[in-house]
Amino acid sequence: MSAVLLDDRIVHYEVLGRGRPVIFLHGWVGSWRYWIPAMQTAAMSFRAYALDQWGFGDTAHEPARYTLDQQTVLLEHFMQEMGIAKVALIGHGLGGLIALQFLQRFPALVDRVMTVNVPFDIRAVHSRLRSATTPADLADWLLGRNEFGESARVDAIKTDPQAIPMSLNGLAEASFLSAMDVMLTPCLIVHGEDDPAIQTPDYERVMAMPERVHQVVLEGSGHFPMLDQSARFNRLMADFLALESGDSPRQLQLKEEWKRRVR
């Protein structure tokens, strides 16, 4: 296990591979652990990092740091500590919100962003995720009894329950849709078609955004497409990461693999 002291608190992370940096940011259920298959794919060409946010996994639990702002500061300080000057960010749920907020604050530091089942508005979040429930209950709801979800389920119980609603408060106060309307950085929006927690953005609304924003909906996938359809997810991720810097992810729809899956 790797760890670093940030603001005198322990932050747990793992890293694989060599090359340009990619940081994986987990969502409201689980920890860095469920990114392992995606990290292994990325590590063939990149240096792949994944860290636990404040209140999750093996990173320090301290409620004052659970806000979306403080989670974004954690990413900033982590990159400074690792000596990362420019990065590709892949964020799921909460991690996607952190990635987008970091991009708003430090656009020169972000080469591209891939968001996975990320709500751009608080109204897109199911009330069950926003209610006072336990992380274990949320894991059962989002993962069911499928074996593929064990890597997320095993660390769900490590989550401080306060970390979930406190981060969602930041979503209620933010305007991510308006930020996307002026997006200059390549951004791929990925959603599982059957996600019970997050409503898929309207495709026409997304396609009205700048050329460098694109959406792919994965048919038959739920809240954890990196687990329930890992092969397809990893191919899409690898295709996105392989684009030249600044290229629009809308080029992905030209590939036969994604023609049938674009909404």
Give pLDDT tens digits for 60-76: 999 999 999 999 999 99
Distances (CA, A) of 196 to 2, 120, 200, 209, 215: 33, 16, 10, 25, 18
CATH of domain 2-259: 3.40.50.1820
Which residue shows structure tokens 């497409």?
225
- The reply to whether the predicted model has a pTM over 0.85 is yes
What whole-number distance in Å separates Cα of residue 30 and Cα of residue 155?
Answer: 5
Residue-range domain boundaries for the chain: 2-259
Give pLDDT tens digits for 20-50: 999 999 999 999 999 999 999 999 999 999 9
